[in-house]
Homo-oligomer: A and B are copies of this chain.
Amino acid sequence: MKNTINTYVETHKDRFLTELFELLRIPSISSIPSHRPDMDKCAEAIKASLEKAGVDKATIYPTGGPSIVYAEKIIDPALPTVLVYGHYDVMPVDPIDLWHTDPFEPVIKDGKIWARGADDDKGQLFMHVKAFEAMVATNTLPCNVKFMLEGQEEIGSGELTKWCAEFKDLLKADVILVSDTSMLGEDTPSITCGLRGLAYMEVKVTGPDRDLHSGLFGGAVANPINVLSKMIAQLIDDDGVVTIPGFYDTVNNFTQEQRDQINSAPFSDENFGKSIGVNELVGEKGYTTMERKGIRPTLDVCGIWGGYIGEGAKTVIPSTAHAKISTRLVADQDFHDVTAKFTKYFKSLAPAGVTVEVEAGHGGYPYQADINSNNYKAAHDAIVEVYGKKPVPFYSGGSIPIISTFEKVLGVKSILLGFGLDTDAIHSPNENYPVGQFFKGIQTIPLFYKNLVK
């Protein structure tokens, strides 16, 4: 199968790029309302390309926002079904001055495609369309395929969540295949095996009922800023361990073998520190940096404010002090549970003389792939065949909430088979995607299908 596909791809590679460029030319920026006609145009273009590639049927489902393109090819209901997820919306292009070329006029230079969406996610999405076309055209499609391509990923996938719940039956599948992540490097293939969840809270400490003169009242009353600082200080101990009771109760522990695999990725603390301008990396004792930002939960204050924060000096004891606090969660932590535990604990830290409020913000579930599953092995072996190297299981510290939503709503696990690189500048000026990764993706995807039905 590999050679058959490769030959097809080789034959049609210029056309594949030409078609991708047509897609990239549509400025489908979901966050800017005036681009709504472009969203529709892009959905139509995607639908047409799927039809041309050989789906049984393709449908545009309108939503409260940009539409969802759904398509399927069912060759035998008894065979496994792959549900491909991707998104055709892109981020805004500001600051436009920093782009070397027009973000919506793709060019190839230095072996890369330069355009907004070249990687995230039109480029990666289109690999799936073309891999599917190749399998259909060469009669090698080994299973059923469904496509679910949305236009709202960059603004939160709100409509997709509702739509998934409504069309749960239509979306029945054995695995969801997603190419919307990165590899560690062109020579360091990896599969994203974990995404962290999130529980976001805002806290408020109130002391006196109005701002007080720090001279006349200093020493007599609890100062909300001092109190808040002390409460925050108690949330993490000297070993970098979060002190919220029960916080780690449902955290999956990794075996030494799994940890060795994670740490087999080429990674230098020194270079990482240099890249962000710090001379020492800091975190939970007993874990490497890769582990701390991948498989361990963490707590960060994302914002703090209180009292006088303008120029110069004002001698005030403020009435209130505030902080925005985010915990990053790993499987199997539940953000509702963590929010409740945080709230109870944080309030318990309140000393005399103040009242404390905690407001729960948004949350998201963590995601963890089962690296012993057939799905994972199918992806693993496909990458070995194309890249000649075993992929490293990579646990990302970030969150893609829709992935855990799929699991919750559809009951289907995802495989994050991403081909992006950290140098692709997604969301930034001069987004790009190596031509080599685009075609390696198209080669890898059919092998995943083949391995899946094995």
Contacts and interface: CB of A to CB of B under 8 A. Distances in A.
A313 B362 CA distance: 8
Interface stretch (A70-78, A157-165, A214-222): A214-222
A276 B210 contact: yes
B272 A214 contact: no
A218 B397 contact: yes
Given A219-B283, A303-B306, A278 B208 contact: yes
B282 A300 contact: no
A236 interface: yes
Given A214-B328, A284-B219, A398-B216, A226 B300 contact: yes
A294 to B, nearest CB: 8
Interface in A312-362: 312-318, 321-324, 326, 328, 351-354, 361-362
B324 A313 contact: yes
Interface string A248-285: 00000000000000000000000010001111111110
A300 B218 contact: yes
B213 A398 contact: yes
Contacts of A216: 293, 396-398
A414 B361 CA distance: 56
Contacts of A281: 220-221, 353
B278 A304 contact: no
B326 A279 contact: no
A298 B219 contact: yes
Contacts of A298: 218-219
Given A304-B305, A304-B321, A326-B214, A222 B278 contact: yes
B221 A315 contact: no
Interface in A189-204: 196, 198, 200, 202
Interface string A228-253: 11101111100000000000000000
A293 to B, nearest CB: 4
A272 B397 contact: no
B301 A229 contact: yes
Interface string A280-302: 11111000010011001111111
Contacts of A398: 213, 215-216
A307 B316 CA distance: 22
A212 to B, nearest CB: 6
B283 A220 contact: yes
A309 interface: yes
Contact of A292 (B212, B219, B315): B219
A23 interface: no
A444 interface: no
Interface residues of A, number: 80
Contact of A229 (B304, B308, B361): B304
A454 to B, nearest CB: 35
Contacts of A221: 276, 278, 281-283
B218 A229 contact: no
Nearest to A223: B300
A231 to B, nearest CB: 8
A163 to B, nearest CB: 24
A293 B233 contact: no
A412 to B, nearest CB: 23
A179 interface: no
A207 interface: yes
B304 A219 contact: no
Most interface-central of A208, A283, A351 (chain B CB within 10 A) = A283
Contact of A309 (B200, B297, B304): B304
A314 B326 CA distance: 9
30 contacts: A200-B315, A207-B278, A210-B276, A210-B277, A214-B300, A214-B302, A214-B328, A215-B396, A215-B399, A216-B398, A219-B283, A219-B298, A220-B272, A220-B282, A220-B292, A220-B293, A221-B276, A223-B300, A225-B301, A225-B303, A226-B299, A229-B229, A282-B352, A282-B353, A301-B306, A302-B317, A309-B324, A313-B324, A313-B361, A313-B362
Interface of A: 196, 198, 200, 202, 207-210, 212-223, 225-226, 228-230, 232-236, 272, 276-284, 289, 292-293, 296-309, 312-318, 321-324, 326, 328, 351-354, 361-362, 396-399
Q: Rank and list the top 4 A-B pairs by shortest CB-CB distance, nearest first.
A: A209-B277, A233-B233, A219-B298, A303-B307
